[in-house]
Chains A and B, each alone.
Chain A
Amino acid sequence: MALDDSKKTREFKVVGTRPDRPDGIDKVTGRARFGADMVAPGMLTGRVLRSPHAHARILRIDTSRAEALPGVKAVVTRADFGAVPAHVADIMENCLAGEKALYDGHAIAAVAAVSASVARQALRLIEVDYEVLPHVTDVDEAMKPDAPVLHEGRQQETVPPGMSGNVISRCEFGHGDIEAGLKQADRVIERTYRTAATHQGYIEPHACLATMTADGQGELWVCTQGHYMVRNTCAAILGMDQGRLRVTASEIGGGFGGKTTVFLEPVALMLARKSGRPVRMVMSRSEVLRATGPTASTSIDVRIGMTKEGRITAGFAELRFQGGAWPGSPVGMGAMSGFAPYDLENVKTVGWDVVTNRPKAAAYRAPGAPMAAFAIESAIDELAHGFGLDPLEVRLMNGADEGTKSSYGPTYPAIGLKATLEAAKSHPHWTAPLGKNQGRGVACGFWFNFGGDTSVSLSVTPDGTVTLTEGNPDIGGSRAAMTMMAAEELGIPYDQVRTVIADTGALGQNEVTHGSRVTFSVGLATIAAARAAKAEMCRRAARVWGIDPDAVEWEDGAARPAGPNAGKFPPMTIRDIAAIAPKTGGPISGHHEVMAEGAGVSFATHMVDVEVDPETGATKILRYTVFQDAGKAVHPSYVEGQFQGGAVQGIGWALNEEYIYGEDGILQNAGFLDYRIPVASDLPMIDTVILEIPNPGHPYGVRGVGETSIVPPLAAIANAVSAAAGVRMTQLPMSPPRVLAAIQAGG
């Protein structure tokens, strides 16, 4: 669906306001039901036995002693599942190991028992014989020809001969002539940057409750970003018809991409099938960190040339991402996105997807983009400062605009990068004075955004209120946003619409909540469904009035004669029409099913002030401002929340968070005491500036906003810390020991 009218600014009545969130009361009173909150009669507790080795061949698993323990109702291993379809084979292997354990924490077996203590006791009775194998957890080490190889035969045709079997694929993007461009530069810098694997850090651990009846009907209550995905994946793994598995999404305590796949769910269903009892499984925080997907760790080489006036003559980056024990790191998106904010004649990126003995990387908010932006935006910043140029002016000089051929190929339609840069330049933050040991950094970021399968249904109740049914878990305020768009379109108050998240039995397929897609895609479908309901209500009014349906229009929540020639009839409100619906043709509803396309790309500029303690290397965030294009902010408070959340997760990624592996390949910090995410006392209030450059692919101009906000912070903070510390930081996290060592080495 295209933007309603690109020639004039639409006057919204509900969209753009800040009503109370519909889930607020339940969440602050503790009544909202999350993954672990559901119970069922006769429910068992499921627990998972995990590998203590980073890489080991599984020679034997003996579950007989566990099965004999009183209170144990079922034990499962990979053998219980048999062969699974190819498209879910890696997911299956991650849920339960087959021939090899591929990382510390890899699931080996699971039990269902009458209590948690019996389940834990049963795990201790499972005997596993391992042949411990050499391991590798570092991306550069894994690419060496003599590195231990995780898989045979997985290398794709894009990889040149002779490389390690851990190198799965190569991709390359760009245009122009890098070497010719570099020759035009007054300075060329070459740097290598490294980023650590970080976890999405959602507060709610993975949890589910599975039921399987004797006739093969399954039900699953689960904390997920996409219950349709859970249904489809679990059905494939368990050899079920999708229609025989009904999945309901619980409330969700954060996902950020990490809940776009399955871990416990097929195991819980198999335990339920074997035991004949409901089985609930809940991960501990340690399990979440050891065995669910963090993002990739990376090693990135950058070469950029710039004239002394600030024009970038060529940009090159080679990105190496390890995505854990199976193919699929987000290196392709990193390679496509890193230079996307700029209008460059000569640009090239090369990406390598590498496997290591770590948990399989899952998506994490704009997968791949923050790391690429860290490297490229750091190099641009260093060049700008080296010439004594204003880093915002340099970005404006090189910034992409409508008509720019992007670094990944397509030509941009209307985009908002320069609007964010101009807003940053004119913001008081940019000229505020800095004190001793303080520095300011800026960086830009880009994300694609996308749509996908979407199905919604909108029903007018007999009293004229409206129920909107959608199929995407509400992660970032989508119930409020959908309610607002339905109310806007129908011309009725916000509190006359209630939005519910349906189970998989209620609607057609819905793509996972990811890719910043929901406000765009589900919003688009909501508007279309509301328009269908409006059209039907106009038809009902036309029949009552005895005039042509084309002579009726909908305005301010009521059907009205379209003009003087249509006749003189008092308006029929939605309540009037609903009240007589049984007499005019029956229930009134609208629905819309679509493969939503046309999500508009999004850009942001971040600005941050830090203070670095030269004696300890500790960094304090003093001030932070986000400038981002939202297309159209449906509920500005939620948009601001997304901007703030991305900035805060970026602060953690930049300063403290990292997966630390010992020489033995074992994760050393599998808990929030040792894996340090930012807390409120670490942070200033994150200021936000919403820009609205309408997306031509949405009726109201909406763009996704959930992911772009995590792209610039790593680079913006690195640029600020480098300015404050007087030494260029090229490795994340910039933890106090690392900053202190850099200061001491620089001094």
Chain B
Amino acid sequence: MVKVLLWGSLADLAGGAREVAVEAATLRELLEGLARDHPGLRPELERGVSVSIDGRIYNDSWFTPIGPESEVVLLKRLQGG
């Protein structure tokens, strides 16, 4: 299981937990697992999120591996100028 830190307003939509556990070995499995286990997160996930895995930020790389000890943080989708 991978522990995922949610930002505050997302936690409200996942039953109040700031940290949730998801069965996932890749970024794709993580996003699918979050949507499956926490339906309240689906609208935000569909709008797009960024994910920090061990301090590196990923947007769309489905097959990025995630270890059970990885630090995983969901972030608002980043946009730059």
Contacts and interface: CB of A to CB of B under 8 A. Distances in A.
B70 to A, nearest CB: 11
A175 B70 CA distance: 19
Interface string A136-173: 00000000000000000000111000000000001111
A413 B10 CA distance: 25
Interface in B8-64: 8-10, 12-13, 40, 43-44, 50, 52, 54-61, 64
Contacts of A366: 80-81
Contacts of B5: 409
Nearest to A258: B81
Given A409-B5, A597-B61, A697-B56, A707 B40 contact: no
B78 A515 contact: yes
Interface SS majority for chain B: mixed
Contacts of A257: 80-81
Contacts of A411: 54-55, 71
A409 B78 CA distance: 14
Interface residues of A, number: 47
B60 A595 contact: yes
B81 A363 contact: yes
A517 B60 CA distance: 15
A367 interface: yes
A637 B15 CA distance: 51
Contacts of A409: 5, 7, 52, 73-75
B79 A515 contact: yes
Interface in A152-199: 156-158, 170-174
Interface string A254-289: 001110100000000000000000000000000000
Interface in A542-599: 595, 597-599
Contact of A333 (B9, B10, B79): B79
A613 B71 CA distance: 52
A413 B55 contact: yes
Contacts, number: 103
Contacts of A333: 76, 78-79
B81 A365 contact: yes
A733 interface: no
Chain A contact surface mostly: loop
A450 B9 contact: no
Nearest to B64: A597
Contacts of A336: 75-76
Interface in A228-276: 256-258, 260
A387 interface: no
A412 interface: yes
Contacts of B44: 158
Nearest to A452: B59
A516 B80 contact: yes
Contacts of A350: 8
A364 B81 contact: yes
A173 B52 CA distance: 14
A410 B52 contact: yes
A597 B56 contact: yes
A568 B3 CA distance: 57
B55 A171 contact: no
A172 B60 contact: no
A197 B57 CA distance: 29
A707 B78 CA distance: 13
A498 interface: no
Contacts of B13: 157-158
Given A174-B8, A411-B71, A363 B79 contact: yes
B76 to A, nearest CB: 4
A104 B57 CA distance: 38
Contacts of A172: 7-9
Nearest to A413: B55
A439 interface: no
Given A597-B61, A697-B56, A256 B81 contact: yes
Among B43, B50, B57, the one with the most A-chain Cβ atoms within 10 Å of its Cβ is: B57
B7 to A, nearest CB: 5
Contacts of B50: 450
A34 interface: no
Contacts of A157: 13, 40, 43
A260 B81 contact: yes
A211 to B, nearest CB: 30
Given A157-B13, A171-B9, A597 B80 contact: no
A676 B67 CA distance: 52
Contact of B76 (A332, A410, A707): A332
Given A363-B80, A409-B52, A411-B55, 13 more contacts: A156-B43, A173-B8, A257-B80, A257-B81, A258-B81, A367-B81, A408-B7, A408-B75, A409-B7, A410-B57, A450-B50, A514-B81, A515-B81
Interface of A: 156-158, 170-174, 200, 256-258, 260, 330, 332-333, 335-336, 348, 350, 363-367, 408-413, 447-452, 514-517, 595, 597-599, 697, 707
20 contacts: A158-B12, A170-B9, A171-B76, A172-B7, A257-B80, A260-B81, A333-B76, A363-B79, A363-B81, A366-B80, A367-B80, A367-B81, A408-B73, A410-B75, A411-B55, A411-B71, A451-B59, A515-B78, A597-B57, A597-B58
Query: Which 5 residue pairs are nearest across A and B when measured between Cβ atoms?
Result: A257-B81, A515-B80, A172-B8, A409-B73, A332-B76
